[in-house]
Amino acid sequence: MKLREQEESASRFEKYVEGLAGVIGHADRVGPLHDYCIGLVLPGERKSVEPLAGKTDPDRMEAQHQSLLHFIGISEWSDERVLGKVREMVLPAIERHGPIEAWIIDDTAFPKQGRHSVGVKHQYCGQLGKQANCQVAVSLSIANHHASLPIAYRLYLPKEWAQDMARREKAHVPEAVTFKTKPQIALEQLRAARQAYVPIGTVLMDPAYGNDARLRTGVSELALSYVAGIQSNCLVWPPGTEPRRRGKPINNTGRRDEPDLISVKKLARGLPKKAWRTIRWREGSADWLSSRFARVRVRAAHPYLLPELITPEWLLIEWPESEAAPTKYWLSTLPEDVTFRKLVGLAKLRWRIERDYEELKQEVGLGHFEGRGWLGFHHHASMCIAAYGFLISERETIPPSGSRPPALFAQSALPEAYRPRGSALAA
């Protein structure tokens, strides 16, 4: 990057932080806000408070450390207002490449060693691919095929934590925070996005969320369409059939009361050869990504809705020719006349959230927070999303997944022997 381009990018960063300062509250928070964001954007192995202090003010490292600790762990500024401002400033850069196409629901996990960090529990950890001691946060992102940005982010508080007053008090969990399942948190985030008039997109969910019939119904009640991943044992009425039982929702005797109900896996295996088409959805690093798909109109069994209220929707099935059985299933309320390729393209657009989390963790330090409190957990995430938002807005010159110019901001030299806590070099 040439000197002039560096100066222009640094100037845009200063204006970006000025925008955030407008919703941060007291003027004495502006300095720490500025330094925290700079520290997250600068290269570095660890991006917890201590190394950020060392990067941004090594001559006053102890005082800077205390300032950033107070800003991130104690100051009661609004995460919702900061994320709203980030969305407002970054959205035009995303929409320059096309309108918002999707709202993506997902969660991400942070492995932890102890039991004192807020919300930590032995639960499924996507980062490790198994049950482990971790924290889990639920998020909502807006996306098109060019970029995506988290616009809501909340820690999942397990029931054990929600009901343990001593642990809540020690972690400063707000009284208003009660136990909610991850799908319930996701639905709250969707409602808030609708109330904020965020540009509408199709809601995308993986099976952990899409299999929840109440969540799918809640999405529809918000006048949003969805493409929801489901499990292979999800029951549906195949094309040409409909519920026979009236006036009572499906229950555990549904198979006997509704003999036409079958699993989507059984339906997929019974489809004729002509139902399957090879569809390509986007260009990969080497070639177009493609697979074999089928789609049919079905009614999905719902344990809470009256059968007569269940309307037809798309069932999309992926069965790669190299596989012995179908691999993925989705339900979708997109219009009946939606093109096959668009349906597949939206189902596959969830890859953007996986890219988001990879970059937020590897590039910006989302998982590096070392505090234990509720406020600090969310404040650090808001700052990481803010820093990531700036990088998205600079994507043409500073791609988040690429090597960023180390001279974008002035970085004072650290003592040669300095090793931040948590660093692999600290040992």
Q: pLDDT by residue (tens digit) across 217-248? A: 999 999 999 999 999 999 999 998 988 877 77
Nearest to 153 by CA among 382, 348, 351: 382
Task: State residue 165's pLDDT score.
Answer: 95
| Contact yes or no for 205/226 (Cβ under 8 A) | yes
Neighbours of 280 (CB within 10 A): 15
Contact by Cβ (8 Å): 205, 229: yes
Q: What is the pLDDT of residue 341?
A: 95
pLDDT at residue 34 tops 90: yes
Average pLDDT of the segment spanning 316-337: 96
Q: Is 279 left (phi over 0), alpha (psi -120 to 50) or beta?
A: beta
pLDDT at 44: 84
Residue 5's pLDDT is 72
Structure confidence at residue 397 (pLDDT): 54
**Cα 275 to Cα 281, 292, 356, distances in angstroms:** 18, 10, 34
Structural element, H or E, at residue 298: strand 288-300
Taking residues 173-189, report their average pLDDT: 97
pLDDT at 103 over 80: yes
pLDDT > 50? residue 423: no
Question: Which stretch of DSSP H or E encloses residue 41?
Answer: helix 30-41
Q: What does the pLDDT read at residue 355?
A: 86
Q: In this structure, what DSSP letter does residue 230 have? A: E
pLDDT band at 198 (very low <50, low <70, confident <90, very high): very high
pLDDT of residue 252: 57
Res. 152: pLDDT tops 70: yes
pLDDT at 365: 93
Domain ranges across the chain: 3-202+354-393, 228-334
pLDDT bin (cut points 50, 70, 90) of residue 416 is: very low
Residue 84: which pLDDT band, with cuts at 50, 70 and 90? Answer: very high
**pLDDT at position 251:** 65
Kindly state the average pLDDT of the residues 187-200: 97
Q: How far apart are CA 5 and CA 23, in angstroms?
A: 28
- For the chain, how far is it from start to end, CA to CA, in angstroms? 35
Mean pLDDT, residues 35-56: 90
Residue 275's pLDDT is what? 96
- Residue 159 tokens read as 């029931």
Secondary structure (3-state) at 332? strand
Q: Which pLDDT score, from 0 to 100, does residue 377 have?
A: 96
- Residues 6 or more apart whose CB falls under 8 angstroms from that of 389 comprise 86, 87, 89, 90, 149
**What confidence score (pLDDT) does residue 167 get?**
94
Q: Which tops the pLDDT comparison, 269 or 245?
A: 269
Collapsed DSSP state (helix, strand, coil) of residue 124: strand
Burial class (CB in 10 A: 0-12, 13-18, 19+), 304: exposed
Phi/psi of residue 162, nearest 5 degrees: -60, -30
Q: pLDDT at residue 421 above 90?
A: no
Whether residue 419 has pLDDT greater than 60 = no
Q: What angle do CA 368, 374, 376 make, to 5 degrees?
A: 45
pLDDT confidence of residue 242? 86
Average pLDDT over residues 79-107: 96
| Residue 8 confidence class, pLDDT cut points 50, 70, 90 | confident
pLDDT the model gives residue 403? 45
399: confidence class by pLDDT, cuts 50, 70, 90: very low
Q: Supply the pLDDT for residue 402.
A: 47
Burial of 143 per CB tally in 10 Å (0-12, 13-18, 19+): buried
